[in-house]
Structure formats: structure tokens, C-alpha cells
Structure 1
């Protein structure tokens, strides 16, 4: 059964709200973090957009604890850990997916764990949302 899709209006609102809260927090650590449900919806919506832009099953993108998708055409895995995995935290994913960050910088800073020959997502980010 396919996963339920996040409504475009709700997804976009959550992305705007979560990115604004994270940006304010970057300037002032005492400002409140985004609400967990907003952050979760924003991440899931952007993962949905990424999956729409790069359908396939050869790379697994994980943003714990909020979601994971399989993307990019190529060899498919069916059991165990896939050969191409990208894992990153929610603030890093939101920044990259919305154009507020750069893949190479986040990778060099250790905010992305990527393994496998197909794990470079720099050409897919930011995503159209």
C-alpha cells in the first residue's frame, strides 16, 4: 500500500515555518526550536518532493527519526542495508533541500553520512517544493 502523501499546502507551510524557526535559532540560540510536528511534516514533505524528482530504489535517504525514502534509478536492493545510504539530521536536510546549504560543506563537516557509489545527492538538491 502506498504511503499517504502530504498535502502540498500543509507541506509548504511546514517547510516555511520550520526553516524560519531554525534560521532564528541560528541567530539566537535562546529562540525556540521548531515544533516537532512542524519539523516532521517539513522533512516528510521534502523527502516526498525528493522522491518525486528522483524516483527509484537504489539510494536510501534517511532523516531520523522523521522518515526515509528510496530514490534514484539503478540496482534495487530487497534485504538488509542498502549499498547506497545517505543519513543526515533534520536541520541539515532542510537546509540542503531548500537551498540554504551546500552538500560539499555539510559532508566535509560530518553532518552527512553517505556510503556507496550513488550516494552523492548534490545534483538533486535543492528540491523543487
Structure 2
């Protein structure tokens, strides 16, 4: 995670394996903090999870979907870019009434640990 954040803080995109690992670690932390299956969070091509308590989705297109690219996800999940700004800029797409995940952010460091 630190390598990905260091690269982004310098204004460069992290190496693909570093970015992949950071995305997956942040998705894992989100699923831990917001257990449930009512929102699908998609960060192609590295991962997707379901999270947030509420009605479980089982068929077809989920009613609550968040999708963004890997770099934006890392920036938003660590609050280097706000949820609202990323959504306003079109870098993050969120549809459905449960998709504002800002109350769970930042996801890193987990529980305030360094």
C-alpha cells in the first residue's frame, strides 16, 4: 500500500502489481468495515466486492453500484480525493441510494494503524 501511495503522491501511476495489491487491500478493508451485500463496488480489472448492510441483490444488474478506475479508487479510499469531487468529476460513478461510501473513508491506514 505504501508504495502505491508514495507513487501517487509523487504524481506517477504505481506499477501494475503494486496498484493491484493496493486496490485489493482497500476493497478488503471496505468489506470488513461495511459488511453486507447491498452495494457492489467494482474496480476493474482488479476486483469487485459486495458490501453495506441492506437488501441483498441476487439477480440481474445490482441496484446499488459504485465503479471507478484503480487510481481513482486508491485516491478516494485514502481521501486524497474526496468522494464528492471524484463523483462530480465523473471519475467515480455511483448509482443507487446506498452508494455514498464516504462514511467508511479513509480506508487506509486500517483503524488508524500505520
Q: TM-score, normalising length from structure 1?
A: 0.80
Equivalent residue number for residue 48 of structure 1: 28
| Offset of residue 101 of structure 1 | 1.4
Secondary structure of 1:92's counterpart equals helix
> How far, CA to CA, are the matches of 1:61 and 1:19 in structure 2?
21
Equivalent residue number for residue 9 of structure 2: 23
- Give the number of equivalent residue pairs: 109
RMSD: 1.1
Q: Which consecutive segments of 4 or more residues in structure 1 shift more than 2 A?
A: none
Secondary structure of 2:9's counterpart equals helix
Q: Where does structure 2 lack aligned partners over 5 or more consecutive residues?
A: none
Equivalent residue number for residue 3 of structure 1: none
| Offset of residue 99 of structure 1 | 2.1
State which of 99, 105, 108 in structure 2 corresponds to 1:119: 99
Counterparts of 1:59-78 in structure 2, within 5 Å, are 59-78=39-58
Secondary structure of 1:73's counterpart equals coil
> How far, CA to CA, are the matches of 2:27 and 2:18 in structure 1?
14
Q: TM-score, normalising length from structure 2?
A: 0.90
> How far, CA to CA, are the matches of 2:65 and 2:86 in structure 1?
16
